[in-house]
């Protein structure tokens, strides 16, 4: 299809550098312009409808076109469109949201701190931890451990935490002082003859070996997603988090739970922390916090983190950190209304009711000749394609995603895994329709591969 210079695609190609896109391929093929959304659906500029099987970027919990969020934003824009929280100023929406989050927290938390993206939240977590170590008179305790295939964002520090090659290659990352330990993906990383229990024990032993090699007194924190999302939807085996946390406790290392995807219902509980039995000192949230109708994220910190920070800021004279948009009133008002919708419509109940169907449809696809493994929990899952002669690793996934898109379903290709993470408002009938397209697309793709 030729792209007209004055069309949205033409002007996009002329003026816009895209995130996570091959810029050269975009110059050739152009982008797909999305015009509007309604419920679980989005529509492109030609009017074609797609099931948004990824809820945008794992985030639009309440679906598209939610008028209550539009109204909440409008009301706030009319009363106080902007204010900040620097220098001891505050405003209602930031206070209301901080109180709401502390009351919702899955483990006792002391304070909420606001940021604008998941990356900023995780970056801020590192800064808080460094500040805390200095406050405690332990300036050497600064190193952070993350995991291979963990995803924590793209700022200099959060991209360093992320354990994926694309986020490091050609960016001169990771920064020093950030280390990656094992990924808890049993099928991919278990050694010959190892069962789940032995695999879990090895993950914990490898973590401990890393800590001892570096010196426990130099390690400040461990960060992990309760269930890994962007690394391929990886649900850790039973006992994994218990074994990891025992090592962290023994060596006085803080735990940061990155709940940016899991938070607010994705796993069938309000937080993945509860689903997986975590006891974090810091929780970072974003995405479903506002259903991404506004950019907002937050850190919830416990007293172990808050008290030394408060002491240090008292000594220095200020906590020298903050964003112009921290606790933005419009974003906070939208987040509050969004959380009210999640509770009033019992979207947690919807996830619990539909998870068995969602997961069993994934599991059924595992026996497809092209597939090797289905993974997931709650309303998040992925199907991994088997390696195939003539295709490099990571080549098949995007090709199948393109077939699915043609058939009216957006999924996300993570290498050769196809992820689904639909809006939490999805119905039983819509789950069925989504998987019918997935299944038909797999068959169609298989036929294409045979011909090729």
Q: Which residues bind ligand PMP (CB under 6 A)?
A: 57, 117-119, 122, 151-153, 225, 229-230, 258, 260-261, 286
d(CA 128, CA 302): 12
Provide, rounded to whole angstroms, the least separation between the CB of residue 287 and ligand PMP: 7
Provide, rounded to whole angstroms, the least separation between the CB of residue 113 and ligand PMP: 15
- Radius of gyration from C-alpha coordinates of the chain: 22
d(CA 254, CA 216): 12
Q: In the complex with ligand PMP, which residue's Cβ is closer, 141 or 152?
A: 152
Q: In the complex with ligand PMP, which residue's Cβ is closer, 143 or 152?
A: 152
| Residues contacting 208, CB < 8 A, separation 6+ | 247, 250, 251
Tell me whether strands 380-385 and 371-377 are parallel, antiparallel or unpaired. Answer: antiparallel
Q: H-helix or E-strand containing 70? A: helix 67-79
Provide, rounded to whole angstroms, the least separation between the CB of residue 152 and ligand PMP: 5
**The token pair that represents 56 in the structure block:** 């945008």
d(CA 326, CA 294): 12
Query: Buried b / exposed e across 217-245, counting CB within 10 Å, b at 16+?
Result: eebbbbbbbbbbbbbbbbbbbebbbebbb
Provide, rounded to whole angstroms, the least separation between the CB of residue 365 and ligand PMP: 23
Which residue's C-beta sits nearest to ligand PMP?
A: 118
Q: In the complex with ligand PMP, which residue's Cβ is closer, 146 or 430?
A: 146
The answer to whether the beta carbons of residues 422 and 52 sit under 8 Å apart is yes
Provide, rounded to whole angstroms, the least separation between the CB of residue 157 and ligand PMP: 12
- Vertex 56: Cα angle to 346 and 403 (nearest 5): 120
Q: In the complex with ligand PMP, which residue's Cβ is closer, 117 or 338?
A: 117
Q: H-helix or E-strand containing 155? A: none
- Vertex 377: Cα angle to 374 and 383 (nearest 5): 20
Provide, rounded to whole angstroms, the least separation between the CB of residue 439 and ligand PMP: 27
Q: In the complex with ligand PMP, which residue's Cβ is closer, 164 or 260?
A: 260
Provide, rounded to whole angstroms, the least separation between the CB of residue 80 and ligand PMP: 25
Tell me whether strands 111-115 and 297-301 are parallel, antiparallel or unpaired. Answer: antiparallel
Q: In the complex with ligand PMP, which residue's Cβ is closer, 80 or 175?
A: 175
> Is the preceding omega at residue 174 within 30 degrees of 0, hence cis?
yes
Provide, rounded to whole angstroms, the least separation between the CB of residue 276 and ligand PMP: 14
Q: In the complex with ligand PMP, which residue's Cβ is closer, 118 or 423?
A: 118
Q: In the complex with ligand PMP, which residue's Cβ is closer, 60 or 261?
A: 261
């Amino acid at each position: 299809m030729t792209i007209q210079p004055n069309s949205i695609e033409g002007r996009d190609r002329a003026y816009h550098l895209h995130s996570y896109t091959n810029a050269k391929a975009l110059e050739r093929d152009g982008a797909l312009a999305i015009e509007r959304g309604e419920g679980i659906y989005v529509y492109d500029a030609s009017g074609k409808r797609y099931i948004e099987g990824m809820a945008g970027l794992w985030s639009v919990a309440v679906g598209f076109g939610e008028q209550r969020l539009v109204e909440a934003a409008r009301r706030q824009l009319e009363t106080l469109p902007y204010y900040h929280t620097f220098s001891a100023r505050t405003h209602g929406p930031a206070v209301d949201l901080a109180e709401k989050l502390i009351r919702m927290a899955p483990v006792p938390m002391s304070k909420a701190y606001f940021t604008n993206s998941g990356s900023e939240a995780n970056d801020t977590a590192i800064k808080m931890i460094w500040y805390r170590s200095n406050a405690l008179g332990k300036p050497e305790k600064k190193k952070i451990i993350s995991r291979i295939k963990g995803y924590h964002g793209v700022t200099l520090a959060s991209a360093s935490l992320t354990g994926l090659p694309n986020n490091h290659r050609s960016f001169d990352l990771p920064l020093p002082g950030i280390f990656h330990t094992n990924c808890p993906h049993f099928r991919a990383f278990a050694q010959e003859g190892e069962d789940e229990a032995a695999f879990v024990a090895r993950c914990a032993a490898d973590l401990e070996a890393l800590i001892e090699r570096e010196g426990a007194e130099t390690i400040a924190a461990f960060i992990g997603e309760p269930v890994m999302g962007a690394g391929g939807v990886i649900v850790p085996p039973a006992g994994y988090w218990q074994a990891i946390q025992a090592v962290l406790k023994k060596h006085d290392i803080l735990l940061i739970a990155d709940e940016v995807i899991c938070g607010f219902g994705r796993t069938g509980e309000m937080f993945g922390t509860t689903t997986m039995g975590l006891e974090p000192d810091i929780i970072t949230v974003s995405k479903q916090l506002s259903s991404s109708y506004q950019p907002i994220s937050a850190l919830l910190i416990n007293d172990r983190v808050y008290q030394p920070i408060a002491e240090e800021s008292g000594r220095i004279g200020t906590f020298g950190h903050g964003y112009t948009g921290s606790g933005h009133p419009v974003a906070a008002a939208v987040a509050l209304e969004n959380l009210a919708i999640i509770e009033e419509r019992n979207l947690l109940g919807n996830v619990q009711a539909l998870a068995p169907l969602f997961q069993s449809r994934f599991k059924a696809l595992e026996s497809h000749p092209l597939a090797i493994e289905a993974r997931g929990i709650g309303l998040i899952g992925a199907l991994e394609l088997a390696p195939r002669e003539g295709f490099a690793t990571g080549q098949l996934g995007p090709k199948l995603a393109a077939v699915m898109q043609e058939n009216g379903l957006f999924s996300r290709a993570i290498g050769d895994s196809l992820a689904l993470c639909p809006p939490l408002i999805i119905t039983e009938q819509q789950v069925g329709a989504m998987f019918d397209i997935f299944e038909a697309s797999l068959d169609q793709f298989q036929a294409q591969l045979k011909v090729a």
